């Protein structure tokens, strides 16, 4: 008789998920929900401390286990759990725990949740820093926003971060990619086999039937975790360049900026006289988004796809962003607002959407169409499960077809294993 025991999933989290603080936390919860719908038994583990806004996993029937880095206690834990699937949240967790998982549960499918390509984000950040150092008053970033794919590859390829991250992708049986742009970059420039990648975007349960009307909305809104460097850079750009241009045309305009983990350097920018309000964490981000008239997301660097923009579309709130903000989100479909490449163009587009009900409503319709076509959980959740099950059914053949990954696992596991064991032995010798 075939076993009727549920599939056991172990998630090794870089942090405990905070879906109301970051898009990464929201995406993790969407993945978890897809697994729960299959009746799979989930254990979530992490070496991180508990954050302020952690999701209540226990209420969903998920076991929570704190684990330690460089500690053989994990070996006993995973051997006893004997998961069928192990999901690493971010490549750093694959680096830390991948060799232990393979050693003690060699038949478990190893899945990497990339969240976004951190090496892409970092390369773009370094390029922006260099440009601002050379020309701090630059307004137009069109050349930064549209490099050729080969140029992007060359910016990333020599970096330690890219080599670590893409090696972790190779070492995994399947990597979840949130952005189609990043899949194309990996396949076409880094020559990663397409069969180890799976497109898994942000997901929404349904497209709302109604929204708060244009006439009942007011103010501009920007939202994002302040610990995320692209969000902080966007706040600075709004403060110094974009918002003054908007206030020139709309002298009474107000901008409300929400973000988890607001640092003193952000609250120092709070200036009600300028209509620039730094308001810390939003208890209900969708509520404040639903009552705003226009969402500003002027991201000068970043990667993946943007949770704040998906939330704006979900709330029927047109947005103004950059090519980096819109990257991988709309394909050939019309955008849910405006995409601009300079402070002056962003400000002009924002004012137009704020003042023009016809343009505003069309942007809202575009957002509805994008959600329905590209982001429904009822489409992407089952597709994710189906892909995982297909890999599990042919795991030996799947791994044979990824010889580069096997080779990297062999060499990385030896070096990581010995380094980890050395650190553990050293920790035992050093008094607490």
Average pLDDT on 271-295 reads 94
Does the pTM exceed 0.75?
Answer: yes
Domain ranges of the chain: 8-119+150-203+378-429, 214-375
Give the 3-state secondary structure of the chain. CCCCCCCEEEEECCCCCCCCCCHHHHHHHHHHHHHHCCCCEEEEEECCCCCCCCCCCHHHCCEEEECCCCCCHHHHHHHHHCCCEEEEECHHHHHHHHHHHHHHCCCCEEEEECCCCHHHHHHHHHHHHHHHHHCCCCCECHHHHCCCHHHHHHHHHCCHHHHHHHHHHHHCCEEEECCHHHHHHHHHCCCCCHHHEEECCCCECCCCCCCCCHHHCCCEEEECCCCCHHHHHHHHHHHHHHHHHHHHHCCCCCEEEECCCCCHHHHCCCEHHHCEEECCCCCCHHHHHHHCCEEEECCCCCCCCCHHHHHHHHCCCCEEECHHHHCCCCCCCCCCEEECCEHHHHHHHHHHHHHCHHHHHHHHHHHHHHHHHHCEHHHHHHHHHHHHHHHHHCHHHHHHCCHHHHHHHHHHHHHHHHHHHHHHHHHHHCCC
> Over 60: is that where the pLDDT of 388 sits?
yes
CATH code of the region 8-119+150-203+378-429: 3.40.50.2000
> Over 70: is that where the pLDDT of 8 sits?
yes
> Over 80: is that where the pLDDT of 151 sits?
yes
> Over 80: is that where the pLDDT of 430 sits?
no
Domains 8-119+150-203+378-429 and 214-375 share a fold: yes
> Over 60: is that where the pLDDT of 410 sits?
yes
Q: How confident is the model at residue 1 (pLDDT cuts 50, 70, 90)?
A: very low
Fold classified for 214-375 = Rossmann fold (3.40.50)
Tens digit of each residue's pLDDT (9 = 90 or more) over 327-382? 999 999 999 999 999 999 999 999 999 999 999 999 999 999 999 999 999 999 99
Q: Which pLDDT does position 301 carry in this prediction?
A: 96
Tens digit of each residue's pLDDT (9 = 90 or more) over 183-242? 999 999 999 999 999 999 999 999 999 999 999 999 999 999 898 999 999 999 999 999
């Amino acid at each position: 008789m075939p076993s009727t025991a549920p599939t056991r999933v172990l998630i090794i989290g870089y942090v405990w998920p905070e879906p109301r603080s970051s898009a990464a936390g929201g995406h993790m919860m969407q993945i978890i929900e897809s697994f729960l719908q299959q009746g799979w038994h989930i254990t979530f583990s992490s070496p991180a401390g508990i954050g302020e806004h952690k999701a209540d996993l226990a209420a969903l029937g998920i076991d929570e286990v704190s684990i330690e880095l460089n500690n053989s206690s994990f070996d006993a834990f995973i051997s006893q759990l004997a998961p069928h699937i192990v999901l690493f949240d971010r490549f750093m967790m694959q680096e830390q725990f991948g060799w232990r998982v393979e050693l003690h549960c060699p038949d478990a499918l190893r899945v990497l949740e990339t969240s976004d390509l951190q090496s892409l984000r970092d390369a773009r950040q370094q390029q922006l820093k260099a440009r601002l150092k050379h020309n701090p008053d630059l307004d137009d970033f069109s050349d930064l926003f549209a490099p050729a794919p080969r140029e992007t590859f060359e910016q990333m390829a020599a970096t330690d971060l890219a080599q670590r991250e893409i090696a972790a992708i190779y070492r995994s049986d399947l990597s979840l990619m949130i952005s189609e742009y990043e899949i194309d970059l990996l396949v076409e420039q880094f020559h990663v086999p397409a069969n180890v990648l799976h497109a898994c975007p942000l997901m929404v349960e349904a497209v709302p039937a109604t929204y708060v009307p244009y006439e009942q909305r007011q103010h501009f809104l920007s939202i994002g975790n302040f610990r995320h460097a692209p969000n902080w850079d966007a706040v600075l750009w709004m403060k110094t360049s974009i918002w003054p241009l908007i206030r020139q045309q709309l002298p009474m305009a107000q901008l409300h900026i929400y973000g988890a983990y607001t640092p003193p350097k952000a609250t120092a920018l709070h200036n009600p006289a300028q209509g620039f309000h730094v308001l810390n964490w939003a208890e209900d981000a969708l509520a404040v988004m639903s009552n705003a008239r226009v969402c500003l997301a002027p991201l000068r660097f970043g990667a993946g796809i943007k949770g704040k923009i998906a939330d704006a579309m979900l709330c029927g709130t047109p947005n103004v962003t950059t090519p980096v903000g819109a990257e991988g989100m709309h394909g050939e479909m019309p955008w849910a607002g405006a995409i601009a490449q300079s402070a002056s163009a962003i400000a002009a587009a924002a004012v137009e959407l704020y003042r023009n009900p016809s343009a505003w409503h069309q942007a809202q319709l575009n957002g509805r169409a994008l959600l329905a076509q590209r982001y429904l959980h009822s489409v992407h959740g089952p597709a994710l499960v189906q892909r995982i099950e297909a890999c599990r059914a042919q795991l030996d053949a799947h791994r044979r077809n990824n010889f580069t990954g096997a080779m990297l696992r062999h060499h990385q596991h030896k070096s990581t294993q010995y380094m980890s064991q050395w650190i553990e032995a050293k920790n035992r010798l050093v008094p607490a």
